[in-house]
Chains A and B, each alone.
Chain A
């Protein structure tokens, strides 16, 4: 008897050691570009069938609650800034010197003409907490399927993450609508070690329901070992032109 029990437990433990800790992996995706505080310089290239533009911006963040992004170039948009506090968003336009709160009705509108929506920047839900997760082992990577919990308000009916086993980093994320149709794809490329974290420096978002659109964000510099003051996320700082 004790022999059988022993074998049973050995089996159980060995089985567990092959199972992955989904929650922990997903938490990594949630906190990919975040730490307690961060400062970054980014370049965003937007491609549409009608025009192509590259914008340079500075970004500050503290936790998941506070983010400030300020556009540096091109000249036409220089000084335009976006502030996110929890799940509210404000835009500042230097030309008219006005801070405008983005109404919830415009949450699905594009952010700065890119393929990212205002909602993408503002959303508070976490893959590790607000979604039901399941996965399939695909050899080199895990295919994780995420279904939002009932109390989560989101446009995506389903999200699929391809997580590389070795680096434990996402390589691709697919977004599906309520009818299970692939609407967009995000790719993470060019990994680099920043302040001890393994980070993809390039994010490429491609809408799959229309032709000729692409948004690529490239981190020119990124630092987690910084102290970001709370005042950075205040009205006064939002209105600064530099």
Chain B
């Protein structure tokens, strides 16, 4: 019965109710759209980032990521790769060797990071081959060729076919030195700064690291599965070997993203406050108008609890209408933009260039606005509801 009364009360002031609900729908949709864009945008960034170089999961020895060391290797790689490939979500696995060395061409020398990638398997886990600007992938496994980052190419003034002398530290203590031919020059981007890429087999020979790798890079069919799959893989790896999802490998990037997201939550709170103030206004006004009414109700024996309940239910009904309407509007809005996206001028984040943002229909997109509007309405309704419950009949009836 409380429900019936409250519902009827709402429609006594149709216009006010309607406007309030409309404002809630607007606030909801705004918040929802903002979350959707943000999650969608970050989703694209994460996807591009992990596809480019990091992969979704990495396997390495101990704390190699934090304290890299030529000798911290995983051995028995073929075996491990077989095990990983068995997991359903795994799309590709590739081994890598990480080192550094001095590159010399004619009279110029420069220090560079050396990443050795598998001739066949690398394409399954990264977009390295697509980042080639001029030239081609390695001729064959074991060929002494390198893919050179654009800035190194310009510092050394090399072209396709140039022979670069590379000197590095061998894992047996000797000084590795040999010539490598430039088979490709990469496009200019943040991932390949001061990097050259060697074929995995030749690097093993060159650095006395045959059969060993510093990392296994794994790509899944969905980056969201990273944490879960990493956990299950941890049981399959030998002692002292770490299985880490991408956000543990790229802590800085991840932290940067989180910080960015924090900024957005302030926006939601502001929207929530605005909506809450609007709702407060409505409920308070409706109470003040009916003060006399409440006085009479109390005089005839209505309990304070009942009156409190009446106002609260009115508030929550408003809220439900707002949320329901908001869900419908935001669903269609987000659905549209998840397909068509918003195009804008390029911005860069963590090395990824973004020029289009899409929304997403993840649950969070609807849960956040629902929660904020629900709880703020609840909070805001308390004040008038308590006031109404405390009304003294005599005073109240003197009002209006």
The residues of A with any CB-CB pair to B shorter than 8 Å are 46, 48-53, 74, 76-77, 80, 91, 93, 95-96, 98, 100-103, 105-106, 110, 112-113
Known pairs A48-B173, A95-B178 / 19 extra A-B pairs, C-beta < 8 Å: A51-B171, A52-B173, A76-B174, A77-B175, A91-B167, A93-B165, A93-B177, A96-B177, A96-B178, A96-B179, A100-B109, A100-B165, A101-B107, A101-B109, A103-B110, A106-B111, A110-B169, A113-B174, A113-B175
Q: Please tell me if B127 contacts chain A, counting CB pairs below 8 Å.
A: no
The one of A46, A91, A96 in contact with B173, judged by C-beta atoms closer than 8 angstroms, is: A46
Q: Can you report 20 residue pairs joining A to B where beta carbons are below 8 Å apart?
A: A50-B171, A51-B171, A51-B172, A77-B174, A77-B175, A93-B167, A95-B178, A96-B178, A98-B177, A100-B102, A100-B167, A101-B107, A102-B109, A103-B111, A105-B111, A110-B169, A112-B175, A113-B169, A113-B174, A113-B175
B173:A106 contact, CB within 8 angstroms: no
Give A106 to B112 CA distance when docked, in angstroms: 11
Instruction: Give A23 Cβ to nearest chain B Cβ, in Å.
Output: 38
Q: Please tell me if B104 contacts chain A, counting CB pairs below 8 Å.
A: yes
Instruction: Give B25 Cβ to nearest chain A Cβ, in Å.
Output: 61
8 closest Cβ pairs, A-B complex: A93-B177, A51-B173, A53-B173, A76-B174, A100-B104, A50-B71, A98-B165, A96-B165
CB within 8 Å for A93 and B175 given contacts A50-B71, A101-B109, A103-B111? yes
B175:A80 contact, CB within 8 angstroms: yes
Chain B residues with CB below 8 A from A74, complex form: 174
Give A112 to B110 CA distance when docked, in angstroms: 18
Chain B residues with CB below 8 A from A112, complex form: 175
Chain A residues with CB below 8 A from B167, complex form: 91, 93, 100
Give A46 to B102 CA distance when docked, in angstroms: 21
State which residues 97-129 of B face A: CB under 8 Å: 102, 104, 107, 109-111
CB-based nearest A residue for B104: A100
Chain B residues with CB below 8 A from A50, complex form: 71, 171, 173
Interface size on B, residues (CB 8 A): 18
CB-based nearest B residue for A111: B175
State which residues 251-290 of B face A: CB under 8 Å: none
CB-based nearest A residue for B106: A98
Give A53 to B169 CA distance when docked, in angstroms: 13
Chain A residues with CB below 8 A from B71, complex form: 49-50
CB-based nearest B residue for A47: B173
Chain B residues with CB below 8 A from A101, complex form: 107, 109
CB-based nearest B residue for A48: B173
Chain A residues with CB below 8 A from B175, complex form: 77, 80, 93, 112-113
Chain B residues with CB below 8 A from A103, complex form: 102, 109-111
Give A106 to B110 CA distance when docked, in angstroms: 9
Give A218 to B107 CA distance when docked, in angstroms: 34
Instruction: Give B155 Cβ to nearest chain A Cβ, in Å.
Output: 11
Give A76 to B208 CA distance when docked, in angstroms: 12
Instruction: Give A86 Cβ to nearest chain B Cβ, in Å.
Output: 18
State which residues 149-199 of B face A: CB under 8 Å: 165, 167, 169, 171-175, 177-179
Chain A residues with CB below 8 A from B179, complex form: 96
Chain B residues with CB below 8 A from A91, complex form: 167
Instruction: Give A74 Cβ to nearest chain B Cβ, in Å.
Output: 8
Give A21 to B201 CA distance when docked, in angstroms: 60
CB-based nearest A residue for B177: A93
Chain A residues with CB below 8 A from B174, complex form: 53, 74, 76-77, 113
Instruction: Give B74 Cβ to nearest chain A Cβ, in Å.
Output: 15
CB within 8 Å for A106 and B102 given contacts A53-B173, A98-B165, A113-B175? yes
Give A91 to B101 CA distance when docked, in angstroms: 14
Chain B residues with CB below 8 A from A46, complex form: 173
Chain B residues with CB below 8 A from A100, complex form: 102, 104, 109, 165, 167
Give A49 to B171 CA distance when docked, in angstroms: 11
Instruction: Give A80 Cβ to nearest chain B Cβ, in Å.
Output: 6
A98:B104 contact, CB within 8 angstroms: yes
Give A100 to B172 CA distance when docked, in angstroms: 22
Give A101 to B107 CA distance when docked, in angstroms: 8
Give A144 to B117 CA distance when docked, in angstroms: 52
CB-based nearest B residue for A113: B173
Give A112 to B173 CA distance when docked, in angstroms: 8
**Which interface residue of B107, B165, B173, B177 has the most chain A CB atoms within 10 A?**
B173
CB-based nearest B residue for A76: B174
Give A48 to B104 CA distance when docked, in angstroms: 27
Instruction: Give A121 Cβ to nearest chain B Cβ, in Å.
Output: 15
Instruction: Give A85 Cβ to nearest chain B Cβ, in Å.
Output: 16
CB-based nearest B residue for A80: B175
Give A73 to B172 CA distance when docked, in angstroms: 14
